[in-house]
């Protein structure tokens, strides 16, 4: 049977409902537990092993100096938030945060440095 409006019932139902979208700046969805966003270093724990630099698929991490004196330069703009560096770190010095609103006004602000 061919009918003119197959979605009629659905559309009438929807008149009673509120919009399903969130009004973003005022309402926020709860982030999932496994969500990965910006990465931070606990630089005291870092032993300068260079593993995170090698594993990073987008060359977002740079090590300045060597060994326990090394400092980290992290390009947020290049990061894919894959979390490979977090998995590979032998001393658990790298953690992911749930900070995903990463808009900056200047390009220099997108490079984060972790110093001792």
Partner 1 sequence: MVKAIDIPFGPQHPALEEPINFTFEVEEERVVDVKIRLGYIHRGIEKLAENRTYHQNVYLVERICGICSFAHTTCYTQAVEELLGVDIPERAKYIRTIFCEMERIQNHYLWLGFTAKAMGFETLFMYTWRDREAMLEVLEMISGKRVNYGMNTIGGVRRDITGKMVERMEERLNYLEERANYYKKVCTKERSILKRTVGVGMLEPSDALNLCAVGPTLRASGIPQDVRADEPYAAYGEIPFRVVTYDGCDVASRILVRIDEIIESVKMIRRALDGMPQGPIRVKVPKNVPKGEAVSLVEAPRGEDLHYLRSDGSDRPARLKVRAPTLANLPSLRKMLKGVNIADIPIVIAGIDPCLACMERVILVDTKSKKGQAWSGEELWRYANEWYRES
Asked if 71 and 21 touch (Cβ cutoff 8 Å), the reply is no
Give least dist CB 15 to partner 1, A.
13
Residues of this chain, 57-76, that bind partner 1 according to CB under 8 A: 57-58
Name the burial class of residue 73, with classes exposed (0-12), middle (13-18) and buried (19+) by CB atoms within 10 angstroms of its CB.
middle
Q: Residues 29-48: x/- map of binding to partner 1 (CB under 8 A)? A: ---xxxxx------------
- The candidate with the shortest Cα–Cα distance to 91, out of 62, 115, 67, 112, is 67
Return the ∠ at Cα 70 (arms to 44 and 112), rounded to 5°: 80
Phi, psi of 12 (to 5 degrees): -65, -40
Give least dist CB 3 to partner 1, A.
5
Residues of this chain, 6-25, that bind partner 1 according to CB under 8 A: 6-7, 10-11, 20
Nearer to partner 1, 1 or 103 (CB): 1
| Binding region for partner 1 (CB under 8 A) | 1-7, 10-11, 20, 32-36, 55-58, 80-84, 87
């Amino acid at each position: 049977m061919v009918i003119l409006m197959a979605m009629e019932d659905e559309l009438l139902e929807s008149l009673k409902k509120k919009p399903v979208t969130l009004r973003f700046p005022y309402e926020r969805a709860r982030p999932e537990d496994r969500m990965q966003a910006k990465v931070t270093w606990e630089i005291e724990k870092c032993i300068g092993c260079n593993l995170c630099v090698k594993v990073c698929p987008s060359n977002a991490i740079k090590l300045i100096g060597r060994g326990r004196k090394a400092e980290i330069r992290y390009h947020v703009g290049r990061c894919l938030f894959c979390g490979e560096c977090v998995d590979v770190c032998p001393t658990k010095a790298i953690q992911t945060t749930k900070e995903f609103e990463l808009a900056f006004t200047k390009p220099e602000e997108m490079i984060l440095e972790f110093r001792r």
